[in-house]
Amino acid sequence: MQKIIAAAALAAAALVGQAAEFPAKPISIIVPFPAGGPTDRVARDLAEALRKPLGGVIVVVDNVAGAGSSIGSAKAARATPDGYTLLLNHIGMATMPTLVRNLPFNVLKDFEYLGLVDEVPMTLVSKPGLPATTYPQLVAWMGQNTGRINLGNAGVGSASQLCGLLLQTALKMDMTTVPYKGAAPAMTDLIGGQIDLMCDQSTNTTRQIEAQKVKAFAVTSAKRLDTPALKALPTLQEMGLKGFEVSIWHGLYAPKGTPSAVLAKLNAALRLALKDPVFIQKQEGLGAIVVTDKRLEPAEHKKFVAAEIAKWSPIIKAAEVYAD
């Protein structure tokens, strides 16, 4: 018994020692979606912006995709809690607890909260050849094609799935959902015309809309956006979908048990990174809003996620879509 206590004391002392010199080697941010998608985009921009505040240490992105973000999130929850493995995930942190029946981790108990990063509106986009250019025309086309419409998403628990689900409920229309490992491969198939529609984050759609590789019909925010490529788009609320508002957020997490001195250094670095003009300009250029409010406090970030879980749970239960 004494031996066990001594070993535990030694391990704790080692962690305190490591915390003092943190960060002394590259940090890895797990992104639970494939490269090239919206979650990957913000993580890569953030990794760059974190480098200076972390004393020049390299921050790498590790894409661990699958199961709507639960595989990568589970890997992060089980990682050594030393600050060298972090997780960047989106609203899935709040929807997975209801959407995924056997989630292999507890969102509120298995992570340390480091702060919210950004908020991103979504856009309703279609394959380039779809014979509609306005939202009313799209709805008319949907009416003529009932039972034949394919709606892509990034898997159960993803933001695109949530948005598609809300859309089908609001329109009282069933579509065939086509799950991908992430929004990047779904976007490739949308551009290629293999699927008809997707509701995806503006950080993934803006460049494709500008290049006219996809058609855009509406945004999911309460107000129209300022971003040049998106400002002509109506909101879904304007188009008659009362109360339809989805905003995707991203947050940064560490495994539970990461030493508090390390968490404090990571939180301080995150705050500086979110003030980096290059980071801000990249995010805003794609319709995202960088967080500047109290949700940069770990406790407020956690409170916000808990409130989001409570907000989405009844909506998801009402739509009766689950995954095992």
Interface with ligand ASP (CB under 6 A): 33-34, 37-39, 90, 154, 158-160, 182-184, 201
Hey, is 147 helix, strand or coil?
A: coil
Side chain identity, residue 166: L
Query: Closer CB to ligand ASP, residue 128 or residue 185?
Result: 185
CA–CA dist 324, 88 (Å, integer): 23
Task: Find the residue with minimal CB distance to ligand ASP.
Answer: 37
Containing 28, the helix (H) or strand (E) segment is: strand 27-31
Q: Which is nearer to ligand ASP, 90 or 302 (CB)?
A: 90
Distance CA 201, CA 116 (A): 17
Kindly tell me which of 163 and 225 has the beta carbon lying closer to ligand ASP: 163
Q: Minimal distance in Å, beta carbon 5 to ligand ASP?
A: 45
User: Shortest distance, CB of residue 136 to ligand ASP, whole angstroms?
Assistant: 26
Asked if residues 300 and 291 have their Cβ atoms less than 8 Å apart, the reply is no
Minimum distance from residue 158 beta carbon to ligand ASP (Å): 3
State which H helix or E strand residue 219 sits in. strand 215-219
Report helix angle 298-319 to 159-171, nearest 10.
Answer: 40
Task: Compare residues 28 and 39 and give the one whose CB is closer to ligand ASP.
Answer: 39
CB of 33 to ligand ASP, least distance (A): 3
Tell me whether residue 27 or residue 187 sits nearer to ligand ASP (CB atom). 187
- Measured from the CB of residue 90, what is the shortest distance to ligand ASP in angstroms? 5
Tell me, rounded to whole angstroms, the distance of Cα 80 from its chain centroid: 23
